Structure 1
Amino acid sequence: MMNTQLTVFSLLERAERYFPKKHVVSRTHSGIRRLSYAEIGKRTRRLSSALEKLGVKRGDRVGTLAWNDHRHLEAYFAIPGMGAVLHTINIRLSLEHLTYIIQNAEDKVLLIDEGLVTLIEKIKDDIPSVKAFVILTDRNQLPETTLEPAYHYETLVSEGNENYEYPTDIDENESAGMCYTSATTGNPKGVLYTHRSIVLHSMTVGLADTLALSESDVAMPVVPMFHVNAWGLPFSAAWFGTTQVLPGPHFTPKVLAELIDNERVTITAGVPTIWLGLLNELESGNYDTQSLRAIVCGGSAAPKGLIRKYEEKYNIPFIHAYGMTETSPVATVSRLKSYQQDLSYEEKLEIRSKQGLLVPGLEAKIVNHQGEVKWDGKEMGELLLRGPWIADSYYKEPEKTAEAVKEGWLHTGDIATIDEEGTIKLVDRTKDLVKSGGEWISSVDLENALMAHEAVFEAAVIAVPHPRWQERPVAAVVLKEDAKDKVTKDDLLDFLAPQFANWWLPDDVIFMEELPKTSVGKFLKRELRDQLQDRSVELR
């Protein structure tokens, strides 16, 4: 067979050649902009040419601090296309972590959205590796900044060569992209993606039993392009000629609802907090969402009540998926098998509320101290993964690599079960399990059950120390506005009681105005534990 190389720019080349009339709809600071893939291709080549003039060479890291828009999409292909490494930087990290990852990655150039310039100005003296700052803006002139040297993106692109020729000798195993974990503890860890891993992952996103992305779709990645490459959707969508709708900076549930309505979005992806907010907007507004064939949800488990509301009231299919920075990220997708289609809705909902089946191309096993767990949906263990888009190391972190990658398997740190059908269900992170009296309690199961209550907007369950049982679960709950001061702790415990053994029930329910979250919208349980560390619970 021919030994052809799988490279990232080939994905956009296909869009240019076969789908030049298809569009990217980009929401920017000044409004909506529409560009064809033919235009995106030319601008991308111009950007590569401009970066080369700024001194970017093969293997150099180029950082992006940007929203989901057309300029960020151009960088997705321009940087790896020229043999450099695309480093998408999480703009919601602390200044300390931003400084750390820019220096750890040794970024040579930063591409910065105009609204984020002040963020980098605060740390400019602490990131000496950066030799040039490129400002992404709709304005005709460079915004005022203390960054130096600073360049105007559109000027660079206009002066670049639209016939720039990409190197043909890039090896598919060279690094193409780089993301850092969101670091709930310690410093973020860098993960390098190869051209080969990105291309193979992109192909998987198009399989019928995964996300089934195709040319006929209109895809809106709400998950940030700085978070695990927006789950790979921009790469796959370009390759398949899919229309892309990029929601841009500071979007709101109203903005998302309007884009779905106006652009006839067929598939969108994001974390549960996004879909909770959108659901509230749909409840209060008047939007046409009939075009949507799927909402893809990852990052954390979505409560059954949320899935049910979207499907029963709005007729929008809801797809659970699972992954992490180290898995590029798609590792499992919750799809029903053909013979499961005849089950009752409640039975199907039970299956689809799990994280699902391993996608083709990967291997998995779930192990505990006794070995691999039984396929009974009950026995718990840590999920281990391996495959061509699973990380085998952390950048410059041999000790952390040794902790996470053992005998060729990535130890995810996620505790899971697997049933007789091979359906995987995450029950917790290893550090978030509640170990009470020697038995494990899943905080995720309790959270999902609480969020099925009609009065609950968000819920997180943590372990607190207990003198007799070692640990006990405590629930932190945010009520919906119209339910505040009307629902009590006992109401929620009574709601949970029929669903769990008595010893699983939280010892306390604490009502809060807001739950702390990570930079990508997950519940930040470390901070919640710090807030509630002095909370005492009664002996049960």
Structure 2
Amino acid sequence: MNAASKVFKMEMMFKERDYWTLNKMLEYRAQTHGDKIFLQYKEESPLTFKYVHEITNKIANGLSGLGIKKGDNVLVFLPNCLEFIYTWFALSKIGAVQVPVNTAYKGYFLDHISNNSMAKIMVVDQEFTDRVKNSEDNLKYLEKIIISGLDKSDKSRSIPSRFTISDYKSLYNNPSGTPVVEVSYKDNAAIMYTSGTTGPSKGVALAHAWMHVMAERMIAMFHITKEDTYLLYLPLFHGNAQAMIVMTCLISTARVVIYEKFSASGWVDMIRKSNASLTNLVGVMMDAVFRQAEKNDDNMNNLRGINAYPCPSAIVESFKKRFGVTQMLEAYGMTETGLITLMPFGDYRADSCGKIAGDFVEAIIADPETDEELPVGHVGELLVRPKIPWTLNSGYYKMPDKTTEAYRNAWFHTGDGLKVDQDGYYYFVDRIKDALRKGGENISSFEVEKMINDHPAVAESAVVAVKSESCGGEDEVKACIVLNVDHNLTYDGVLSWCDDKLPRFCVPRYIEFVEALPKTPTEKVMKGKIRDQGVTLATYDRVAAGYKLKEEIKRDALKKQ
């Protein structure tokens, strides 16, 4: 594109809508590049496009045999593994809708996503069946579970008794013919849950067109070709890994190498072992990698580009030099919208997330109170709308009020504060909405407060963000807690309660017991005032105190083995 342009303009590989469904694209690539390597899990044997097409046909036919049909929502509760991709692809082939579940979810969080999606079937790894067992009486619609890695002799994992149980392995024993199901690019491909602010997490309905166009933007930004290898360690239950990496490689015929999770200390080894030319870093990952002890051979790899967001200007040049990376490109997007801004290839503007993807969306920076457009350089809420139908979200599933609230005055409201300069470069400033982000995960203060308030000793609480000391624009979670009269509660008591009921990234780092929360005359908690106070002398810091969560203890034990 022309670097002087104020928008990011691009050519799509596939303009024909007929190719905008995953099932059609996989079938096409199995025909055009059948023997080319597509997927690989760690150092295991690589898999071709043809193999992936045929094995996912088997699984698709097996899922159909279990009663799954077009339009059905299916929970996918799996770690990063080949089975996740097989299941996702297979569901697309029969027109069903994947509902990926965050692998840290348990209790209320798992109950909510299951009940709101109204899914009758869940594909789950045996590692997580004890959580399903603990919630089985609360899962109103779930009838069947398909267990991956099923080992009935493993007594350490509970198997739910209320549901019909199937072994995932049995799905492979089905015909490899392509299912005959008409799937449109307008049909929902996924419902991905994202943090709420004044209520529970919302299920974002995403059409096949959203997935395809999101991937096309990545291909254009990075100039991705069949010669590239994309390293994936981000969670597959997020749109980043699915649309920006897997779908991107499916369309461009690049290779994907999958690891279960990100490791700052093991990042260089993963880059080398996978022979990766591209990868993504989100949140504090870039800073975490940079903080590792420097080695003389850190630049001995084949990396040519990293999609990093944010891409902190304080370390970007040193990072590139140290690891031998030529392109560090930043973008801005969210589950509801896909990528909205992208940094043009070969371009760089310190702390900018790039230019508007002008072929696909319109965008303005607006006053969040009036929706009136603001002058250049002013901070306001980013509002967007699509130029191509079905390429923004299709609404919040079973939440019409939230959909109406977000789509106001013919614009989708991102809830994020940005500004734009005279040259068309956008800059993320802060979240306008009351949400937090930690470890690449959005956190709903509402949901964390709900769990804390359920403790019998707690009268009320307020959860706010405290900026992390690491580069990356992420938050630490602080909880201010008011106790009931004549009740006592220790910091350890709060943390133990939260550790049992919350995903690890939601557990507060900072806790402060207060006599009362600051409120307006209408009894609304003044969270801005609490945020401004930050960490005080009365604030407990679990990290400084050496308190370890259960998963941290487990991780430390595995490291010693």
Give the alignment's TM-score, normalised by structure 1. Answer: 0.73
Distance 1:464 1:67, change over 3 A: closer
Q: Aligned match of 2:428 in 426, 429, 433? A: 426
Q: Distance in 1 between matches of 2:507 and 2:420?
A: 24
Equivalent AA in structure 2 for residue 113 of structure 1: D
CA shift, 1:172, in A, is: 2.3
The C-alpha deviation readout for 1:8-47, integer Å capped at 9, x for no partner, is 211211331222233345447xx73532222211110011
Q: Give how far 1:86 is off.
A: 1.1
Q: Is 1:321 matched with 2:331?
A: yes
Give the TM-score, by structure 2 length.
0.71
Q: 1:120 to 1:16 in 2, by over 3 A?
A: same
3-state SS of paired residue (2:124): strand
1:290-305 equivalence runs, <5 A? 290-298=301-309, 301-305=310-314
**Alignment check: 8 A CA contact 2:234 2:262 kept:** no
Distance 1:521 1:12 in 2: 35
Q: What is residue 278 of structure 1 aligned with on the other side? A: 289
Contact 1:135/1:142, CA 8 A, preserved across alignment: no
Q: Single out whichever of 112-121 and 356-365 deviates more from structure 2.
A: 112-121
Q: Which residue of 2 aligns with 1:242?
A: 254
Query: 2:200 — aligned with what?
Result: 187
User: Paired residue for 2:169, among 154, 158, 175?
Assistant: 154
One-letter amino acid matched to 1:318: M
| 2:344 alignment partner in structure 1 | 335
CA distance, structure 2, for counterparts of residue 141 and residue 37 of structure 1: 35
CA contact (8 A) 1:88 1:229 kept: no
Contact 2:194 2:202 (C-alpha < 8 Å) held by counterparts: yes
> CA, structure 1 residues 82+371, in 2 after alignment: closer, same or farther (shift >3 Å)?
same
Question: What's the counterpart of residue 11 of structure 1?
Answer: 25
- Which is bigger in relative contact order (C-alpha 8 A, separation at least 6)? 2
Identify the residue that residue 257 of structure 1 maps to in structure 2.
268
**CA deviation map 1:231-281 (0-9, x unaligned):** 512112112211101112x55234432221012101111313222333334
- In structure 1, the partner of 2:321 is 312
Question: In structure 2, what residue type is equivalent to 1:123?
Answer: S
CA distance in 1, matches of 2:320, 2:506: 23
| Equivalences, count | 445
Is the CA contact 2:382–2:417 (under 8 Å) kept in the aligned structure 1? yes
Aligned to 1:56: 68
SS in 1 for 2:375: coil
Return the letter of the residue paired with 2:226. Answer: E
State whether structure 2 residue 238 is matched by structure 1 residue 227. Answer: yes
CA distance in 2, matches of 1:179, 1:324: 11
Matched residue type, 1:196: A
Q: Within 1, Cα distance between the matches of 2:183 and 2:44? A: 35
Asked if 1 retains the 8 angstrom alpha-carbon contact of 2:233 and 2:262, the reply is no
Shift of 1:411: 0.5
Deviations 1:433-462 (A, max 9, x none): 9xxxxxxxxxxxx969x757xxxx987599
Is 1:165 aligned to residue 179 of structure 2?
A: yes
Q: State yes or no: 1:126 paired with 2:138.
A: yes
Q: Secondary structure at the match of 1:122?
A: helix
Counterpart of 2:356 in structure 1 is 358
Contact 1:113 1:135 in 2 (8 A): yes
* Residue 216 (structure 2) pairs with residue 206 (structure 1): no
C-alpha displacement of 1:146 = 1.6
The secondary structure found in structure 1 opposite 2:414 is strand
Conserved? CA contact 1:134–1:153, under 8 Å: yes
Equivalent in the alignment of 1:503: none
Conserved? CA contact 1:61–1:87, under 8 Å: yes
Q: Could you tell me which residue of structure 1 aligns to residue 373 of structure 2?
A: 372
Q: Any idea what SS the aligned residue of 2:236 has?
A: coil
Q: Distance in 2 between matches of 1:400 and 1:527?
A: 31
Hey, what does 1:397 align to over in structure 2?
A: 399
* Structure 1 partner of 2:490: none
Matches of 1:133 and 1:234, distance apart in 2? 26
Which of 81, 106, 116 is residue 118 of structure 2 equivalent to? 106
